[in-house]
Chain A
C-alpha cells in the first residue's frame, strides 16, 4: 500500500487516492512506481535515436563508447535532444496560438458567430503593433486583418515576428547580436528539426542558441498571439472569484469537466451550460442542473473569464473521474493523459475528445470547430445528461475539499488596480520595489510531476518567496496549486507574506500571489516585465530587474521551451529537476553558468523548494544591489 502523503500534499487528492485503494484503478502514481527504474541514459540525455546508425549511447563513466556511430559526442547528443524538446514544446504552444489567430480572422470576417470582439481597446493596441490601420475602421475589419497578420507570423520567412518589438530596446540589441530574433514561428521549429537531423548541427553552443531562437518564437510569438487573440475575442481577464479543488464537483448535478488548453471550447461550453433548454433537459434527467468544472489550463481560461470552478491540476485529472461523479470529460489538446481512458472504464464517465490532433483509441471524437461551436458543445452536454442516468450513485465519492480564490489578474488589470480608476500605471509597484517594501518579482509556473510530492514544490516555494517580500506571478498548474492552498485569497496569503509586501498589497488591493492565467499566459509575465521597465527606475532591460522564475514540478516539453524563452529574455530560472542534460558537462555548464554572460539569464536545477527560494532571493538581492536600490525596509 502506498503512502498517500508522499504522493500529494493536497487533501482532496489524498482522500480520493485513499478511497480508490484496492479498487484496481491505476493512476499516474502507480504507473510511475511500475516504471522504476527509469533509464539512466535517458535521464542524462546521452541516448540518441535520431538516426538508424543507432540507437547510440555514451558511456557516462568515460571508459566505453564516447561517441555515437556517426561520431557525435555527449555534448552534441545532449544539445540535439534538448533542441528537439524545445521545438516540440514551442510547436504545441504555437499551434494553440495559430488556432486562436485563425478564429480571430474568421470572427472579423463574420464567418463565425459564436465569438465576438470583446476587447476593442486591446484590439486597437495590438493592431497598431502589427502596423494595421485602425482609424475610422470597423472593429471587425481590424480583427480580420489582425487575425490574418498574426497567422502570417507563423509562415513568415525573414521576420522578425511582430511582438519582438514589444521587448526593451536593450534586449532586442542582445538578440540581434546573437542572431536569435525569430524570423517566423514555424520557420524556427522547422529549422530546429533540420539542425538535429543526422550530421547537421554538431556544435552544442550553436544548437542551444537556436534553441533560444525557437523558444523566443514561442514566448514572443505563438504563446503571446494565443493570449492576445483570446483576450480580444473572449475579453481580457479581470479579477474574478472562483472555487478550486475536486470538491467543486456536485453530487446532484450533471458534472462536465473540460480539460486541455485552448480557450475557445470551454468558452462555448460555459455559455451553453447556462442555456435554459439545456438546464431543463438536465432536470428532466433527474439532476439539479449542469455543473461545469475545469481541469488544467483550460480551467484557468474559463475561470479567469467566467468564474467557472476549477476541479484541479495536472495530477488530479484521473482522480476527477475516480469520484464517480463525472458524466463527461471533454478534452482538447495537451497534458491529457492517455491513462484517463483506463480510469474511465471503471466508471460511467465518457471521455469526449474534440481535437482532430488529440485522438485516443476507443474514445468518442466530436469534431469541434469555431463555426458551429455552440451547437457542438450542446451536443456534448446532451451526451452528459444522457450519461447522468447511468451514474452508479453508490460509487460516488466527492471529497469536500475546496477553496475560494481570486483569479484573472492580467497585466492590464494590474496596471488598473495599481493606478486606480483613471490611471493605468505600474508606478506603485515600482516604487515599492525601489523603496524596499517589495524585494522583487518571481514567476512561479509549470506542471505537476509524480517524481515529487504533488503541489509540495509549488507551495513551499511560493510561501518562502512571499515571506521574503517577493511578489509572485503564477500561471498554469502552479497557480491552481496556489489556489487549492488558499494562497489566492488575499487575506490568507497576507498572513504569510512579509511585512513590506503585506503593506503594499493592503494599500493597493492586490493579493501577494497573482493568478495570471494558463501556460500560454506566461507571455503576460513577459509583458508585465516590460511594463515595469517602462515605468522606470528599475533598469533598462529585463535582465536588470530584481526578478526570477521557477518551475518546481515541471514535466512537459513546453516547460523547457518556456524556461528557454525566459532565460533568453534575461531571466534567472530555476527548474525543480534537471533537464536531460547532465550527461554533458559542457552543456550543463553552458546552461547553468555561461549563459548569464550571454543573455543575462541562466538556469539552475534545484529540487528542494526552500533552496530554490534562496537561489531566487539571492539573485534578486544581487540585482537590487546592481540597481543601487534602497535596502529592504523591514529585515
Chain B
C-alpha cells in the first residue's frame, strides 16, 4: 500500500497541505468558494512544530491501528486488502476514544459537528491532495519499498 511520508528537513511550515486537504474535503472543492461557506471543512493534516522543525502529521494508516480496536461503534475499520483505515462518519457516535488512543495525535476532533475528521487518502479524487498541495515536495505518496529511492 502506498503511504504518505513527510520530509521534515524540507517542510517550511507554510500549511499549504492543510488548505489543500480542507479544499479536497469541502463540498465546493475550490478555495475561493469554500472560504465563503459557513460550514468550512477541516484539514485532516496538521503541521506540528517542535524544536525548530515542522512535523506535518496525518493518519499513518497503522499496521496495528489502536483506533480500530478503541472504536465502540465499529465506525473505524481496516481494509485488509489495501491496509487503509476506513472511517464511516455515519456510524460515529463522537466518543473521541480514537482521538485519545492515536499515538500520533493524527485524528482531529471537529468540535462543531462533534465527530472527528481523519485522512482518507482522498480516495474519491485518486491521490492525496496534501501531496499535490506541498510547494516544496516535502510530502510524498509512495510504497514503503520505494521510500529510499524518492529520498
Contact = CB atoms under 8 A, between A and B. Distances in A.
A43 B31 contact: yes
A37 B16 contact: yes
Nearest to A44: B35
A392 B6 CA distance: 49
Interface string B110-130: 010000000000000000000
B105 interface: no
B14 interface: yes
Interface in B28-43: 31-32, 35-36, 40, 42-43
Contact of B35 (A37, A57, A60, A63): A60
B140 to A, nearest CB: 15
B132 A37 contact: yes
B19 A41 contact: yes
A583 interface: yes
A131 interface: no
Interface in B1-54: 14-16, 19-20, 22-23, 31-32, 35-36, 40, 42-43
Given A60-B35, A578-B32, A583-B35, A39 B40 contact: no
A40 B43 contact: no
B65 interface: no
A39 B36 contact: no
A46 to B, nearest CB: 10
B103 interface: no
B115 to A, nearest CB: 15
B133 interface: yes
Contacts of A62: 40
Contact of A61 (B32, B36, B40, B133): B40
Nearest to B20: A37
Contacts of A40: 16, 19-20, 23, 31
Given A44-B35, A578-B32, A61 B16 contact: no
A317 interface: no
A588 interface: yes
A583 B36 CA distance: 9
Contacts of A582: 31-32, 35-36
A585 interface: yes
Nearest to A607: B32
A588 B33 CA distance: 13
A39 B42 contact: no
Interface in A49-63: 57, 60-63
A39 B35 contact: no
B42 A63 contact: yes
Interface residues of A, number: 18
A424 to B, nearest CB: 46
Contacts, number: 43
A39 B14 contact: yes
Interface in A356-395: none
B43 A61 contact: yes
B42 A41 contact: no
Contacts of B14: 39, 41
B30 to A, nearest CB: 10
Contacts of B15: 41, 57
Given A60-B19, A61-B42, A61-B43, A37 B135 contact: yes
Interface in A12-54: 37, 39-41, 43-44
Interface in A582-632: 582-583, 585, 588, 605
A247 B22 CA distance: 46
B138 to A, nearest CB: 13
Q: Which of B31, B132, B133, B134 has the most CB of A within 10 A?
A: B31
A591 to B, nearest CB: 13
Contacts of A57: 15
A580 to B, nearest CB: 11
A315 B111 CA distance: 47
Contacts of B22: 61
Contacts of B133: 37
Nearest to A589: B36
Contacts of A588: 36
Nearest to A585: B36
A152 B43 CA distance: 54
Interface in B54-99: none
Interface in B129-146: 132-135
A277 B4 CA distance: 69
Contacts of A43: 31-32
Contacts of B31: 40, 43-44, 582
Contacts of B16: 37, 39-41
A385 B19 CA distance: 53
A81 B36 CA distance: 19
Contacts of A60: 19, 35, 40
Contacts of B23: 40
A582 B35 CA distance: 7
B144 to A, nearest CB: 26
B76 to A, nearest CB: 22
A39 B15 CA distance: 9
A587 to B, nearest CB: 12
A605 B132 CA distance: 27
| CB-CB nearest 5 A-B residue pairs | A40-B19, A582-B35, A37-B133, A61-B40, A40-B31
Given A41-B14, A44-B31, A63-B42, 19 more contacts: A37-B20, A37-B133, A37-B134, A37-B135, A39-B14, A39-B135, A40-B20, A40-B23, A40-B31, A41-B15, A43-B31, A44-B35, A57-B15, A60-B19, A582-B36, A583-B35, A585-B36, A588-B36, A605-B32
10 contacts: A37-B132, A40-B16, A40-B19, A40-B20, A44-B35, A63-B42, A63-B111, A582-B32, A582-B35, A585-B36
Interface of A: 37, 39-41, 43-44, 57, 60-63, 577-578, 582-583, 585, 588, 605
